[in-house]
Amino acid sequence: MSYLDLQGVEKYYDDFYAIKGIDLAIEKGEFIVFVGPSGCGKSTLLRMIAGLEDINGGQLMLDGRDITHAEPAHRDLAMVFQSYALYPHMTVEENMSFALKLAKVSPAEIKDKVEKAAEKLNLTQYLKRTPKELSGGQRQRVAIGRAIVRSPKVFLFDEPLSNLDAALRGQTRVEIAHLHRELGATTIYVTHDQVEAMTLADRVVVLQGGIIEQVGTPLELYDTPANKFVAQFIGMPQMNILPSQLFRSQHEGAVETGVRPEHMALVAHGEGELNGDVEMVESLGNETLVHINVNGNVQQQIIVRLYERPNLRAGDMVGVDADASRLHFFAADGSALRGEG
């Protein structure tokens, strides 16, 4: 039996079926990331685990204990909120010691734990300040510190980096990864940023419309997406998906074929597997993204990623070859077809 076990967990908001029976087994020490488009139920699922939303069906087990209906405080979980939710009238130190104080831990032990956490997070010099005297990144660290001092069984993060600017986000992402290695704590992390998902996760859970589309390591999701949704959701820019008959290699039962932008190469016009005109060229320095309308059809636009700088302009006619070993085939219902067909 795994550490944290979701068994057919469901959620209704009145008659809106928000979470449609989630089964998920999380091992001790794993870093799990929930991703999915906006409104897919990531936050709801996390809040159900936290105990902030009632679970309407199914079971939630943590370390062999049924916590489906336990009070949030009795679940042995700690959560870092998107808005940080620091207590504005308390100092950093009081914020971090609040839970321990309520749990009647001895003052000496509280002091010890808070100081250790503050040291880990570089907060020692800010202990006497109130949240409004801190920068966004520092507040973020206090929120994490508040979770750490409780030594919970599972850490929950709901889009913790979305209020930070791009540079700080990258830095904090590295810090969170470092912290996870150091503490080895089981972590569930919600984000809609796939870079965060790919870099932090041991396993990624892709959600859509209240169900799990696929669970796997970041590279599994990238290399062998279970269906068209995951294929297009993971990877920037998106996988190109076109009707199968446009390609040379075919697969039994496939109606659509997908290929990632980096698995295609430009050839002379008329000689490629696909041919079309260049719609736009995005030069990003390290790479170039070429948008091509296949057969001049704007509905069938693909993106080719090149790592050299081609001499192309909008309107040029080009041919494209796809790497036959890297094709993804999708059946009419969107599920991926694998193996020799």
What residue ranges bind other proteins (CB under 8 A)?
A: 50-52, 71-74, 77-79, 81-83, 85-90, 98-99, 102-103, 146, 150
Residue among 39 and 107 whose Cβ is closer to ligand ATP: 39
**Neighbour-count burial for 195-212, b at 16+ CB within 10 Å, e otherwise:** ebbbebbebbbbbbebeb
- The answer to whether the beta carbons of residues 305 and 259 sit under 8 Å apart is no
**Residue 183 vs residues 178, 187, 191, 336: alpha-carbon distances, Å:** 9, 10, 21, 37
Residue from 15, 16, 104, 125 touching ligand ATP (CB under 6 A): that is 16
Residue from 4, 24, 26, 42 touching ligand ATP (CB under 6 A): that is 42
Residue among 43 and 91 whose Cβ is closer to Mg ion: 43
Write phi, then psi, for 320 (nearest 5 degrees). Answer: -130, 135
Residue among 54 and 66 whose Cβ is closer to ligand ATP: 54
Q: Which helix (H) or strand (E) holds 243?
A: strand 240-243
By a kind-dependent CB cut-off of 5 to 8 A, residue 307 interacts, out of Mg ion, other proteins, ligand ATP, none, with: none
By a kind-dependent CB cut-off of 5 to 8 A, residue 87 interacts, out of other proteins, Mg ion, ligand ATP, none, with: other proteins
Rounded least distance, CB 22 to other proteins, Å: 21
Rounded least distance, CB 49 to other proteins, Å: 11
192 makes contact with ligand ATP (CB under 6 A)? yes
DSSP-derived 3-state class of residue 224: coil
Q: Cα(335)–Cα(158) distance, rounded to whole angstroms?
A: 29
44 makes contact with ligand ATP (CB under 6 A)? yes
By a kind-dependent CB cut-off of 5 to 8 A, residue 44 interacts, out of other proteins, Mg ion, ligand ATP, none, with: ligand ATP
Residue from 17, 20, 25, 43 touching ligand ATP (CB under 6 A): that is 43
> Dihedral, CA atoms, 326, 329, 335, 338, nearest 10 degrees?
-70
Q: Cα(170)–Cα(272) distance, rounded to whole angstroms?
A: 39
